[in-house]
């Protein structure tokens, strides 16, 4: 009797684990052997479904007794996220003239990617190029280079470049050597020196490689171009959070970029040509995917004294 009870208990534990792995149906099927008799009022639908139970036996269960467990399932795109979305090559255009340091993009990014205030996938910097030039604010993301120095130095193949231009990092492969941080000329990556923010809240959440969430202590984290949003056909978090219309995001192959604030879509080539766009540290040959439009016609010229960044 005791033995039987023990076995039931261990089976339950086993099932709990499996339930969270998305094999909820199995849990239901084996629980049925007990619950069917104790729940006589539920009528069967007559439709039988064959399921595999925890003892590796095939059993038939009436479909009326099956309920889905609403558990956090691991995102099914993790395996395919190394390939990139077909027919796309993403590009971001930052109009420096419109940035007023509202920092909504940063706030949104840090909230979504479980980042501490000192960790940045995206940072708005106060720039002053030389003594007599006017200062301006510059949002700086990972540049998602087409010739990425960070990917070259990764010894474990944790960080990689996809065909749609996005450079991602797999925190489950990352060993925390920080070679990529040293290699990146844009200082775009940050390291989880401490337990990540809200570590308790994210306990048990399945890892999403396109979001870098949950963050792992001792690994590197970086801007993902909001690859999870792009998979759903939505604009990245920072792009749609900007109240000033700074960001244009789109597909290079399609020659179109959409402003996240105004929702207006324009030709990428025209936008770049008419505004004399440039990329950061062009001469390094990294071929970034982010273009900057010069800080012209600003409504706000920042005072250099109130350095926030």
Partner 1 sequence: MVKITLLISIILLTCTQNAKSQVKPWPVSAEDAGKINPIPVELKNLGIGRNIFTRTCVACHGAKADGKGLIPSASLIDETFQKQSDGSIFFKINTGRDKMPPFKGMLKEDEIWSVVNYLRILVNRSALPPAKDVNLEISTGEEIKSITAYVHSADSAKLPFPEVDVHFYIKRDFGLMRIGELSNYTGADGKVKVVFPEKIIGDKEGNVTVLAKVEDNFLYNNSEMAVERKWGEQMVTEDEKFNQRALWGSRDKSPVWLLLLANGIIVGIWGVIFYVIYNLFRIKKTGKIFIKE
**49, 41 contact by CB (below 8 A):** no
Rounded Cα distance, 127 and 72, in Å: 43
293 binding partner 1? (CB under 8 A): no
Give whichever of 6 and 147 is closer to partner 1, judged by the CB atom.
Answer: 147
Q: What is the footprint of partner 1 within residues 93-132 (CB under 8 A)?
A: 100, 102, 104
Is the bond preceding 161 in cis, omega lying within 30 degrees of 0?
no
Question: In this structure, how many other beta carbons lie within 10 angstroms of the beta carbon of residue 5?
Answer: 9
Contacts of 276 (CB under 8 A, 6+ apart): 293, 294
**Smallest separation, CB 214 to partner 1 (Å):** 25
162 binding partner 1? (CB under 8 A): yes
Beta bridge partners of 251: 90, 256
**Smallest separation, CB 39 to partner 1 (Å):** 48
**Smallest separation, CB 291 to partner 1 (Å):** 16
82 binding partner 1? (CB under 8 A): yes
Among 87, 134, 281, 308, binds partner 1 (CB under 8 A): 87
Enter the DSSP assignment of 130: S
**Smallest separation, CB 48 to partner 1 (Å):** 45
Buried b (16+ CB within 10 A) or exposed e, 239-261: bbbbebebbbbbbbeeebbbbbb
For residue 129, count CB atoms less than 10 angstroms from its CB and return exposed for 0-12, middle for 13-18, buried for 19 or more: exposed
Among 273, 300, 301, 304, binds partner 1 (CB under 8 A): 300
**137, 96 contact by CB (below 8 A):** yes
Query: Token pair for residue 253?
Result: 């192959």
253 binding partner 1? (CB under 8 A): yes
299 binding partner 1? (CB under 8 A): yes
267 binding partner 1? (CB under 8 A): yes
Rounded Cα distance, 211 and 233, in Å: 15
Give whichever of 70 and 299 is closer to partner 1, judged by the CB atom.
Answer: 299
Give the residue from 236, 172, 257 showing the smallest Cα distance to 208.
172
The site for partner 1, by CB under 8 A, has a size of 46
Give whichever of 62 and 107 is closer to partner 1, judged by the CB atom.
Answer: 107
Give whichever of 27 and 167 is closer to partner 1, judged by the CB atom.
Answer: 167
141 binding partner 1? (CB under 8 A): no
Rounded Cα distance, 110 and 132, in Å: 34
295 binding partner 1? (CB under 8 A): no
Binding site for partner 1 (CB under 8 A): 82, 84, 86-89, 100, 102, 104, 146-149, 151-152, 157, 160-163, 233-235, 241-245, 249-251, 253-258, 261-267, 299-300
């Amino acid at each position: 009797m005791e033995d039987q009870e023990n076995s039931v208990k261990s089976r339950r534990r086993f099932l709990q684990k499996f339930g969270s792995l998305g094999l909820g149906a199995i849990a239901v099927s084996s629980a049925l052997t007990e619950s069917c008799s104790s729940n006589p009022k539920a009528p069967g639908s007559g439709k039988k479904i064959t399921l595999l139970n925890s003892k590796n036996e095939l059993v038939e269960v009436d479909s009326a007794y099956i309920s889905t467990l609403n558990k956090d399932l691991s995102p099914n795109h993790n395996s395919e996220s190394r390939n990139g979305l077909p027919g796309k090559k993403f590009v971001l255009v930052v109009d420096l003239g419109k940035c007023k340091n509202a920092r909504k993009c940063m706030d949104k990014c840090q909230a979504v990617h479980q980042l501490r205030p000192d960790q940045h996938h995206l940072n708005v910097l106060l720039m002053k190029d030389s003594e007599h030039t006017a200062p301006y604010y510059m949002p700086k993301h990972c540049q998602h280079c087409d010739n990425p120095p960070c990917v070259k130095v990764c010894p474990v193949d944790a960080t990689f470049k996809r065909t749609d231009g996005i450079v991602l990092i797999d925190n489950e492969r990352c060993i925390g050597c920080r070679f990529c941080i040293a290699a990146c000329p844009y200082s775009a990556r940050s390291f989880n020196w401490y337990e990540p923010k809200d570590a308790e809240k994210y306990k048990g959440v399945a890892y999403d490689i396109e979001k870098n969430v949950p963050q792992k202590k001792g690994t590197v984290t970086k801007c993902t171009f909001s690859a999870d949003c792009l998979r759903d056909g939505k604009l990245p978090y920072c792009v749609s959070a900007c109240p000033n219309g700074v960001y244009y995001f789109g597909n290079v192959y399609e020659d179109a970029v959409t402003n996240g604030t105004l929702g207006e879509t324009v030709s990428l080539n025209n936008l770049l040509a008419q505004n004399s766009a440039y990329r950061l540290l062009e001469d390094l040959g990294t071929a970034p995917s982010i273009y900057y439009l010069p800080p012209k016609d600003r409504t706000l010229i920042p005072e250099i004294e109130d350095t926030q960044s």
